[in-house]
């Protein structure tokens, strides 16, 4: 699949077929995370892959009732939880080197996009889920203090096509030379 086709064609998928994700496909997706860029190649990401229906349904209790991805947690054969190791991305000798502090959100965000695009190119669906009780999720999964749960995605073969939410026009977010200046 052409890269622009993958970027434009990927949609958030919230309904999945029960078919399992083959082991070699999972391996390819983990390689897409592995080869993502990161701050000074710190690779702060870690992934918890959940197949156990009991763990999936326990984790689903961390999502608020209004989260549109709530039912996806049970229907997807696999749920991937992206975690980040604190205090390495954006740091040099233990000191944050920019006003942004820890860049783990950024690096894990890139890794998540790699994963979602790779999944889409292989015919699988994903939906990035960020709205949940992160502390509760960390407790359920036994995540240690120095690691943060950032986001998760259900993963599986799509049972429906996703709708395409409208995007801003390029002219609405691109400026010329200075912020706010139109070319």
Ligand X SMILES: Cc1cc2nc3c(=O)[nH]c(=O)nc-3n(C[C@H](O)[C@H](O)[C@H](O)COP(=O)(O)O)c2cc1C
The residues of the shown chain that bind ligand X, judged by CB under 6 A, are 11-12, 67-69, 127-131, 151, 162, 165
Q: Which is nearer to ligand X, 141 or 151 (CB)?
A: 151
- 11 with 162: CB under 8 angstroms? yes
Q: Which is nearer to ligand X, 142 or 165 (CB)?
A: 165
Q: Which is nearer to ligand X, 90 or 109 (CB)?
A: 109
Residue nearest to ligand X (CB): 130
Distance in Å, CB of 67 to ligand X, minimum? 5
Distance in Å, CB of 81 to ligand X, minimum? 13
b/e code 20-38 from CB counts within 10 Å (16+ = b): ebeeebbeebeebbeebeb
Distance in Å, CB of 9 to ligand X, minimum? 10
DSSP line for 94-126 = TEE-STT---HHHHHHHHHHHHHHHHHHTT-EE
């Amino acid at each position: 699949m052409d890269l622009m086709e993958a970027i434009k064609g990927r949609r958030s998928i919230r309904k999945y077929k029960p078919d399992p994700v083959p082991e070699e496909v999972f391996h390819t997706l983990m390689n897409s995370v592995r080869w993502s860029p990161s701050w000074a190649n710190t690779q702060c990401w870690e992934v918890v892959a959940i197949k156990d229906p009991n763990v999936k349904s326990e984790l689903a209790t961390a999502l608020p009732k209004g989260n549109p991805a709530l039912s996806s947690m049970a229907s997807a054969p696999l749920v991937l939880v992206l975690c980040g190791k604190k205090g390495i991305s954006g740091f040099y000798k233990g000191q944050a080197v920019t006003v942004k502090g820890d860049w783990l959100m950024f690096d894990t965000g890139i890794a998540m996009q790699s994963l979602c695009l790779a999944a889409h190119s292989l015919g699988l669906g994903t939906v990035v889920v960020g709205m949940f009780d992160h502390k509760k999720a960390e407790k359920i999964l036994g995540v240690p203090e120095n690691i943060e749960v950032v986001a998760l995605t259900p993963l599986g073969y799509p049972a429906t096509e996703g709708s395409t939410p409208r995007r801003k026009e390029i002219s609405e977010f691109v400026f010329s030379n200075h912020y706010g200046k139109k070319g």
